[in-house]
Amino acid sequence: MSNQRFLATLAILAAVFASLMIVAYKWPQSRTPDVGETASLRWKWTAGQKRRYRLEVQVDRTAELKQRGQTFAWTATATGSQVWLLRAKSVSQDGAAELEMICESLRSPVMDDLGNAKFYLDSTRPEEVAAASKGEQQNFREKASMIGKIFQASMSTSGALHSNEIAPALSEKWSETAENVIFNTFTDTRIVVRSLDAVMARCLPEEPIAANQPWSRKGERRKPGIGVIEFTATYRIDRSAPRELGIVRIAESIVGSLIKPESRPDDGDPNNDPFLLHQRLAGFEVTGSGEVTFDANQGHVAKRTQALRSKTTTTTGNESKVVTSTLEILER
């Protein structure tokens, strides 16, 4: 099985359901808000402002397959990371920003056929890349081709990223996820922007909200080889967390369910999980949890962690997957 096909399946809703709170609070900024206080959650930029983030994604996968009276079981782990620079070109009167997003470096696994990382190649260590085989070097350089490329996007005050570029037909076969940006070779602006959007936004309440009031959003996404998945992500201010000056912590929970299963996987779809090929889907479920650490004084997310747990059941086996993502600011 190809590493690209396997890695494409690592993108099972991690960013689809991801809900990073990139916001600016209008609460008193010296403390966690009190019950009853309300706030408008908005992302803030000034022209020329830069923010640099490291995004890391780890996928732990366990699968069991029964064929011809035998049971085959295996596990796989892969991790990848990138450093992204976000720079505001301009900011409109309503607070929306035109951004340039640049991938500055990446660290990518070289994997075996089951998807386990044998070793890693890092764009900041060219001597390690030079020591790899020609095939490994070629695959890595394809991924690294996005380094330095400027991806144009607009960000609304609610934090949503958007690109006006028209995506090629191939993009419809790929889920919009952080794993796609981390593990696969994409230089198309719309795919990258929509994938990063799922990591960096998509969770702000449209109206001012009280400190003790949860909020949620619902949506649907197609997972190739699985079908259409409906999800609900719920957020709340975590008032049980230790209080720190200017820091607000936001807890997140996610529940997803399959509402329109596909009759059978398309063997030619590059985003399909090889585990699903030639099998019939019997069930799919996903849950998740996460936390956002928001710096109210600086008006940015300091750190976000999320773990998504999914289980796919077929007529001949099952697959469990945990996708853990961490986004952390490097430059304040």
Return the amino acid letter for 183. F
Q: Which of 82-91, 116-125, 156-165 has the lowest mean pLDDT?
A: 156-165
Which H or E run contains 110?
A: strand 97-111
Amino acid 1: pLDDT: 45
Q: ∠175-181-182 over CA atoms, to 5°?
A: 120
CATH architecture assigned to 3-331: Roll (2.30)
Average pLDDT in the 177-204 region? 62
The number of helices, as runs of H, and strands, as runs of E, in the chain is 5, 14
Range in 150-154, 176-180, 197-201, 256-260 the model is least confident about: 176-180
Reported pTM: 0.78
Structure tokens at 182: 């981390």
| pLDDT beyond 50 at 260 | yes
How do the domains of the chain map onto residue ranges?
3-331
Nearest to 178 by CA among 11, 8, 318, 315: 11
pLDDT one-digit tens code per residue, 32-44: 556 566 766 678 8
CA–CA distance, 293 with 163 (Å, rounded to integer): 27
What whole-number distance in Å separates Cα of residue 302 and Cα of residue 16?
A: 21
Q: What is the pLDDT of residues 238-259, one digit of tens each?
A: 877 666 777 778 889 999 888 8
pLDDT tens profile 33-84: 565 667 666 788 899 999 999 989 898 999 988 877 888 898 999 898 999 9
Res 130 pLDDT > 80: yes
Of all residues in the chain, the percent with pLDDT exceeding 90 is 15
| pLDDT class of 8 with cuts at 50, 70, 90 | very low
pLDDT at 29: 47
H-run or E-run covering 129? helix 126-130
Non-local (6+) Cβ contacts of 188 within 8 A are 165, 167, 168, 171
Average pLDDT in the chain: 75
DSSP 132-164: S-HHHHHHHHHHHTTBTPEEEEEE-TT--EE--
Rounded distance, CA 111 to CA 133, Å? Answer: 13
